[in-house]
A and B are shown apart, each in its own frame.
Chain A
Amino acid sequence: MMSLASLTSVAATLLILGIIFILIVNINSLAQGAKEQFDTVQVYLVDGLETSRIETIGQDIFALEGVREVTYETKEDAMEKMKEQWQENGYLLDGLESNPLPDSFIITLNDIGFANYVVRNVEKLEGVEEVKYYQEIIERMMNIADMIRTVGLAVMFTLVALSTFIINNTVKLAVNARRREINIMKYVGATNWFVRWPFLVEGTVLGLIGALISAGIIYALYQYLHTILSSQFYVLIAAYLVSIESVMRDILILFVVIGSGIGILGSILSMKKYLDV
């Protein structure tokens, strides 16, 4: 009965832990993907510039520190791209008399940290009409991802501590029930490890079984979610979902270590008092 209680507690802890872990891993992956997608600076040029001027602008931009790549996009290219994005509604764009989109440069940065410097300098160039950069969105997203990570880690730590406490109490009850036996053992000259190891094994096995149960549930749950997300809607999000295999490998390692850790720590802590005879 007692072992059932601690088994459930370890399994529940690890289950929540696993869910948070998967959440964090996926948010990281999503944030990384978004960062790569939005991590460009759009430079719109004044309409009707000479080709030579456009070339100079491109060279000037490329010379700036932190710029990895500069791609030139004509207004025609931009229109094609927009039509693609609009998909079945793309025919609406055919009705336009003239192409209102500007020619533009797309700058890829080495690092997001160069963004402000590059934007400031590009704005000064002659022939540049507007510079667009999704810094705010990215920063906000990074902040949210950071927050989720921090909160998630805090919750994880709390849960592990809580679970150790519960195992600790369970083993304490088990040890208490065998107080007499331990007392006699100690008087006859049993070493601490001789007394300790059966309880240690019990605690560790409890932790490991809990780990396996929760890993199984996590596997089933994530697979289900993964299938739904990728087959039915949000194809875009699904592209950033971390694969089941790589998540499960991490989760198994994490669970076995934490599960047995909780078991070992819980039983050693709970035995301390009774061994001091």
Chain B
Amino acid sequence: MHFADRLPEDLPQIRLEGVTVRFDNGHEALKDIDLDVRKGEFIFVVGPSGAGKSTFIKLLLKEYDATAGKIYVCGQKVSNMHRRKVPFLRRQLGVVFQDFRLLPNKTVYENVAFAMEIIEAKDRDIRRQVPMVLSIVGLADKHKLYPHQLSGGEQQRVSIARAMINNPPILIADEPTGNLDPDTSWEIMKLLRQINQRGTTILMATHDKNIVDVMQQRVIALNNGVIVRDELGGCYGCED
């Protein structure tokens, strides 16, 4: 192994070192970010629109490249990773979106199985795993339905099941409750908490002040591309 490729010792699950993202138009979406995330943490990423939340998430997924700095995810250096390795990085990261991103012409079962087919899992494993995960998210009896026959909360459960089906160590959720009413949002949060208690690290970008304040987890607040606050048991906007 080349010396420059050697990983730092005692690396946390996610580490950002002096990470800057500058777009072609000169705008700096993230400025010199340092951050460590340990395995099993539950983290809220908060901040106004344009603060850099989605850039941060896209950076972890390697959809964007860092202009400067180093990023490590699950023991791999992501910042200079070859394009061909990106799919394998993403298999370590389950993703949940605000708009669910389900395939409308596939059933609940097929939508979840899809994520296993993509990583070329064995049919036998797919038949065993999918019902198991569907029962964890509480949709075992709805596996034959199509997304449009489900409520928003149920659709988000399907998308969480899809994100979790390949057992990723980290789950990234980009405003997963953004399209849901408060009661349903809490159902989803309960599910995420459950997944977190099984040992999955969760990074959740959100605008939901109530959820952040009640959950009492680590809160990272971004503003203008800088971390303005990083505290455990934090609230959404403590200075208010």
Contact = CB atoms under 8 A, between A and B. Distances in A.
Interface in B104-129: 114-115, 118-120
A180 interface: yes
A191 B86 CA distance: 8
Contact of A187 (B84, B88, B90, B103): B90
A233 B91 CA distance: 72
Nearest to B61: A187
Interface string B157-200: 00000100010000000000000000000000000000000000
A96 interface: no
B118 A194 contact: yes
Nearest to A191: B87
Which of A184, A185, A186, A187 has the most chain B CB atoms closer than 10 A to its own CB? A187
Q: How large is the interface on A (under 10, 10 to 19, 20 to 34, 35 or more residues)?
A: 10 to 19
A184 B87 contact: no
A189 B90 contact: yes
B103 A181 contact: yes
B118 A277 contact: no
B9 to A, nearest CB: 28
A149 B119 CA distance: 51
B103 A189 contact: no
Contacts of A191: 84, 87
Interface string A178-206: 00110111111111101000000000000
A181 B117 CA distance: 13
Contacts of A181: 103
A71 to B, nearest CB: 72
B101 A184 contact: yes
A188 B115 contact: yes
A189 B84 CA distance: 11
B120 A188 contact: no
B95 interface: yes
A75 to B, nearest CB: 83
B24 interface: no
A192 B86 CA distance: 10
Interface string B81-100: 00010011111000100000
A184 B88 contact: no
Given A190-B87, A191-B87, A185 B101 contact: no
B101 A189 contact: no
Interface string A238-269: 00000000000000000000000000000000
Contact of A194 (B61, B101, B115, B120): B120
Interface string A135-156: 0000000000000000000000
B182 to A, nearest CB: 27
A180 B61 contact: no
Contacts of B166: 188-189
B141 interface: no
B240 interface: no
Nearest to A275: B83
B63 interface: yes
A235 B120 CA distance: 64
A180 B106 CA distance: 12
A52 B63 CA distance: 95
A188 B118 contact: yes
Contacts of A185: 114, 118
A180 B103 contact: yes
Given A194-B118, A194-B120, A277-B63, A188 B103 contact: no
A19 to B, nearest CB: 43
